[in-house]
Amino acid sequence: MNEREQPAGGLARRLAAEGVGTALLPAAIVGSGVMGERLAGGSAGLALLANTLATAAAPGVLILTLRPVSGGRVNPAVSLADAATGALPRSDAGSCVAA
């Protein structure tokens, strides 16, 4: 996708995708910590490794999944930066940040 191209779908669909992505990102990161603790069986090193791998993978999966719908901007700071560079129309930036 060209940086100036807009994802398919209306603004409401893009905002819903942004909201879901923004909610799932911290859930995945917190969940990875819980998962690491439960799977490690008391091994702090293994818990940190599991947490690190899951935390590193979660944003990538969310961005790749949501990019066709919303551009994959699951962070309001990214939406603001894209608006500043022209990759996101400024008229949509406020809505994306709020989502």
pTM: predicted TM-score of the whole model, two decimal places:
0.70
Query: Is 78 within 8 Å of 3 (Cβ atoms)?
Result: no
How many structural domains is the chain composed of? Answer: 1
Alpha carbon 9 to its chain centroid, in Å, reads: 18
29 in any annotated domain? yes
| CA–CA separation, 30 and 55 (whole Å) | 9
* Residue 4 belongs to some domain of the structure: no
CA torsion sign for 42, 43, 49, 52 is: positive
**C-alpha to C-alpha distance for 7 and 68, rounded to whole angstroms:** 6
pLDDT of 19-78, one tens digit each? 898 899 899 989 988 888 888 888 999 989 989 998 999 999 999 999 898 888 888 888
Residue 82 belongs to what domain range?
11-98
Residue 1: inside a domain, yes or no? no
Domain assignment of residue 3, yes or no: no
Position 69 in a domain: yes
Token readout for 49 is 């490794």
